[in-house]
Chains A and B, each alone.
Chain A
Amino acid sequence: MSACTGIAATRSPARSPVRSRGRPSSPAGHAPLRLAALLAPAAAVFAAFFLLPLVRLIAIGAGGAEGWGAYLATLTDPGHLDSLVSTLALSAGVTVATLAIATVAGLFLVRHRFPGHALLVALLTFPLAFPGAVIGFMVIMLAGRQGLIGTVTQALTGGRLVFAYSMAGLFLGYVYFSIPRVILTVMAAAEKLDPRLEEAARSLGAPPWRVAADVILPALKPALISAGALCFATAMGAFGTAFTLATRINVLPMTIYTEFTLQANIAAAAALSVLLGLITWAALALARSAAGGSVAAAG
C-alpha cells in the first residue's frame, strides 16, 4: 500500500512540494508513522504467507483424532520416527561429505591457477541452476537401470550396479547439488587467508597436515559452519530429487507428501511439517550462534 503511495508521489511531482510545504514544522512526529507505513508491506506478506499458515498448520497438526497427541505420535510412530532418523542421518552425511569435498576442491582452486581455471569454476556452479527434479534425473542417468555406472559394471563384472532409486542415489544427488554453494563459500574465505600464517607454522616445524588442522581449518571455520548449516537445512527439506528417484525413499518430506496425498492423514502431515521446520530452524540458529552471525535462512 505504501509502496503505491510512494510511486504516486514520485510520479506526480506537483503534489509532493505542496505536501512538504504543508507540514514543514513536524518532521519528527511524522517518523514513526512513516516507518510503520514502510514496514507494512513486509509485515503484510509475513503475516499472510508465513505467520497465518504456520499457526494454521500447528492447529491442523492438533486437529486430528488424536488431538495434540499427533505431535507425540511423530516420535512414537515407528514409521515416522524411522523417517525422521534416516532424514537426519542422510542430511548429516551429505553435509559432512560436501564440506570435505568442497573444502579440498575450493582450497585447490584458490591456490592453483591453470588454463581453464575460470571455466572450471563456472562449470562447478552449474548445479545451482537446476531444480531438484533435474538433479534426480541426472542421478538416474548415472546410477539408474540404464545408467552409466550400471553399463560399466556390467561390462566389467557381469553384474549391474544400480543405486539411483535408494538413499545412496539421493545422497549422491544432494552432494552434487550442495557442492557448488559450499565451494563458492570456501573459495571466498580461502582468498582471505594470510599466507604468512601458514609460513609461520611451517617455520615452527609443522608438516602440511598440521598446518591444515591448526591454521587453515580454524580460519575457514565460520565459513564452513554457515555453509554446512545451509547444506544440512537444504538436504532436510529437499523434495524434488527424492520424488524423481522413487516414492519409496523414506525421507521426511516424502513421508509428509504420502501422509497428505495418499493417506489423507492431514494432522500427521502437519505435525511432521512443524517438526521438520523446527529441526531445520534449530540447525540454522545453532550455526548462526557458533559462526557469529551471517547465516542466512535456507531457500
Chain B
Amino acid sequence: MPDSFHLDAVPVRLEGCSKTWPGGARALEPLDLAIHGGETIVFLGPSGCGKTTTLRLIAGLESPDPGGRVLFGDEDVTALPIERRNVGMVFQSYALFPNMTVAENVAYGLKVRKVSRGERAARVGEMLDLMHLGEFAGRRIDQLSGGQRQRVALARALVVRPRVLLLDEPLTALDAKLRDSLRLEIDRLLRTLGITAVYVTHDQGEAMALGDRIVVMARGRVAQVGTPREIYYQPADGFVADFIGTMNRLSGRVGGGRLAVGRTSLPWPAPDGPVELLVRPEDLALADGEADGHLDGRVAAAVFLGDRTRLVVEPPDGPALTVDTAGRSDLARGDRVWLRVDPARLLAVP
C-alpha cells in the first residue's frame, strides 16, 4: 500500500449545533460532539431522527442555527460552503455523474482542483485499483451494478484526499449479500486510510460492525454516545436498549435487599420499591429444574435459526422473555422451562 493512501486524521467538533427549518420545525436540538481524528463515528437512529441533517451540517450543505459552530481541527469552517471544506461525500443513491465514464467520475475532483493531467491519471489509476475497479475505468455508469457504483462513488470521494469522509446510508440501496461484502470493504478502506469518517445508518448491524463509536439519536437528540459494546451492554436509557438488539424487560419489586420477580427472588442491593430491569436474550440460560432464583414459564414459540434456537418464554405473569439456546434444542411450544439469570447481567435503566 503506497504512502499516499494514508490520509490526514482531522478531528471534527460540533459546538451547540441546532437546526430549525424555515417553517419552524426543529430537526436538531443543540448538539455538542467531538469526533476524534481518524475515528469512524456512526450516527444511528430511526428514520427522521436528524442523522442526515447532522451529516449535512458537517458537510456544509446546511448551516446550523446562529451560535452553532463546526470545527475541522482548529479551523472554524461554519461559514465555509461545502465546496471549500474539502469533504468527501457518499450518498445512498450513488449520485455518480451519468454523462461521465467511471474514470472521469473519479477524476472529477482532481480536474476541478486543476491537478495536472499526468498526476490525475496516476492517482485515478491507483484509486481504481484500490477499489478493484481497474477493468471498469472506461465504462459508462449505467453499465455498472449497484455495488460497483457505490465503489466508484467511494473512489471519487477519496481520490481528492478529503479531510473527512461523510457517508449517508451508503449500503441501504443494495441487496443483503452485497451489503455485507461492501460493508467489509468499507471497513478495510477506512482502517487503511486512517481518515476521519462519519457514517449514517438506521441499521444497527452496520453501526456495530463499522463504528469505533456510535451516536444513537432519537427525535433530534443524542440518546447516547459510546463504543458498540457500551451501547449494547450499558444502554443509557430504555430507548437505546430497545433500539439496539433484542432486550427483555423484567418488572420486579425490591424489598429487604432481595428482588422479587414473579414467584422468584434474587439478592438485590437496592432501596425498596418497584424496579424495571433489562436483560439480553443471551444472558438468560435454561436451567435443569426449579431452584431458588430461577424464573419459570412456558415456551410460547421456538424459532430454529441454525446456530441457535430462539425461544419466546411466557412467565405466569409479566411480559414474554426472549431466550437464546442451543441450535439442537428440541423444546417445543407448551413445554415448561426454568430460566437462570445472573444478577450481574441485569440492568436497571432509568
A201 within 8 A of B: yes
Per-residue CB contact flags for chain B residues 48-60 toward chain A (1 = under 8 Å, else 0) read: 0000000000010
Contact B108 A201 (CB under 8 A): yes
Complex contacts, A202 vs chain B, CB 8 Å: 61, 81-83
Rounded to whole angstroms, the CA-CA distance of A206 and B108 in the bound complex is: 9
B89 within 8 A of A: yes
State how many residues of chain A have any CB contact under 8 Å with chain B. 17
Complex contacts, B89 vs chain A, CB 8 Å: 199-200, 203
Q: Report the minimum CB–CB distance from A274 to chain B (whole Å).
A: 38
Overall SS of chain A's interface: helix
Rounded to whole angstroms, the CA-CA distance of A207 and B160 in the bound complex is: 16
If A210-B112, A214-B108 touch, whether A205 touches B99 (CB-CB below 8 Å) is no
Per-residue CB contact flags for chain B residues 138-172 toward chain A (1 = under 8 Å, else 0) read: 00000000000000010011001010001000000
For residue A211, which residue of chain B has the nearest CB? B83
Among B61, B87, B95, chain A packs the most CB atoms within 10 A around the CB of B95
Q: Report the minimum CB–CB distance from A246 to chain B (whole Å).
A: 45
Rounded to whole angstroms, the CA-CA distance of A87 and B93 in the bound complex is: 47
Contact B97 A199 (CB under 8 A): no
Contact B97 A206 (CB under 8 A): no
Complex contacts, B108 vs chain A, CB 8 Å: 201, 204, 206, 214
For residue B81, which residue of chain A has the nearest CB? A202
Contact B160 A204 (CB under 8 A): yes
Q: Report the minimum CB–CB distance from A173 to chain B (whole Å).
A: 35
Complex contacts, A204 vs chain B, CB 8 Å: 83, 108-109, 112, 156-157, 160
Rounded to whole angstroms, the CA-CA distance of A202 and B61 in the bound complex is: 9
CB interface residues, A 200-227, toward B, < 8 Å: 200-207, 210, 214-215, 218-219
Complex contacts, A218 vs chain B, CB 8 Å: 97-99
Q: Report the minimum CB–CB distance from B83 to chain A (whole Å).
A: 5
Contact B83 A203 (CB under 8 A): yes
For residue A210, which residue of chain B has the nearest CB? B112
A196 within 8 A of B: yes
Complex contacts, B160 vs chain A, CB 8 Å: 204-205
Among B61, B99, B153, B157, chain A packs the most CB atoms within 10 A around the CB of B99
Among A199, A201, A203, A218, chain B packs the most CB atoms within 10 A around the CB of A203
Contact B91 A205 (CB under 8 A): no
Q: Report the minimum CB–CB distance from B136 to chain A (whole Å).
A: 18
CB interface residues, B 24-50, toward A, < 8 Å: none
Per-residue CB contact flags for chain A residues 20-49 toward chain B (1 = under 8 Å, else 0) read: 000000000000000000000000000000
A194 within 8 A of B: yes
A197 within 8 A of B: yes
B88 within 8 A of A: yes
State how many residues of chain B have any CB contact under 8 Å with chain A. 27
B113 within 8 A of A: yes
Complex contacts, A214 vs chain B, CB 8 Å: 97, 108
Contact B93 A215 (CB under 8 A): no
Complex contacts, A201 vs chain B, CB 8 Å: 97, 108
Rounded to whole angstroms, the CA-CA distance of A118 and B84 in the bound complex is: 35
For residue B114, which residue of chain A has the nearest CB? A205
Rounded to whole angstroms, the CA-CA distance of A201 and B97 in the bound complex is: 9
Rounded to whole angstroms, the CA-CA distance of A165 and B252 in the bound complex is: 95
B86 within 8 A of A: yes
Rounded to whole angstroms, the CA-CA distance of A32 and B157 in the bound complex is: 59
Contact B97 A205 (CB under 8 A): no
Contact A206 B83 (CB under 8 A): yes
Rounded to whole angstroms, the CA-CA distance of A194 and B96 in the bound complex is: 10
Rounded to whole angstroms, the CA-CA distance of A200 and B112 in the bound complex is: 12
Rounded to whole angstroms, the CA-CA distance of A210 and B97 in the bound complex is: 13
Complex contacts, B61 vs chain A, CB 8 Å: 199, 202
If A203-B59, A205-B109, A210-B112 touch, whether A194 touches B93 (CB-CB below 8 Å) is yes
For residue B92, which residue of chain A has the nearest CB? A196
For residue A199, which residue of chain B has the nearest CB? B61
Contact A205 B93 (CB under 8 A): no
Rounded to whole angstroms, the CA-CA distance of A199 and B153 in the bound complex is: 13
Contact B95 A206 (CB under 8 A): no
Contact B112 A203 (CB under 8 A): no
Contact B113 A205 (CB under 8 A): yes
Rounded to whole angstroms, the CA-CA distance of A197 and B96 in the bound complex is: 7
Complex contacts, B83 vs chain A, CB 8 Å: 202-207
Complex contacts, B97 vs chain A, CB 8 Å: 197, 200-201, 214-215, 218
Q: Report the minimum CB–CB distance from A155 to chain B (whole Å).
A: 43
Contact B93 A203 (CB under 8 A): no
Rounded to whole angstroms, the CA-CA distance of A210 and B98 in the bound complex is: 16
Contact A196 B91 (CB under 8 A): yes
CB interface residues, B 195-241, toward A, < 8 Å: none
Complex contacts, B113 vs chain A, CB 8 Å: 205
Q: Report the minimum CB–CB distance from A54 to chain B (whole Å).
A: 39
Rounded to whole angstroms, the CA-CA distance of A201 and B82 in the bound complex is: 10
Rounded to whole angstroms, the CA-CA distance of A214 and B113 in the bound complex is: 14
Contact B93 A196 (CB under 8 A): yes
Complex contacts, A215 vs chain B, CB 8 Å: 97
Contact B95 A196 (CB under 8 A): yes
Q: Report the minimum CB–CB distance from A197 to chain B (whole Å).
A: 5
Q: A200-B89, A200-B96, A218-B99 are in contact. List 7 more A-B contacts (CB 8 A).
A: A194-B93, A199-B95, A203-B162, A205-B83, A205-B109, A207-B83, A214-B108
6 pairs, CB–CB < 8 Å, chain A vs chain B: A196-B91, A202-B83, A204-B83, A204-B157, A206-B108, A206-B112
Q: Which residues of B contact A (CB under 8 A)?
A: 59, 61, 81-84, 86-89, 91, 93, 95-99, 108-109, 112-113, 153, 156-157, 160, 162, 166
CB-based closest 10 A-B pairs: A204-B109, A196-B95, A203-B89, A218-B99, A200-B95, A205-B112, A202-B83, A202-B82, A196-B91, A206-B112
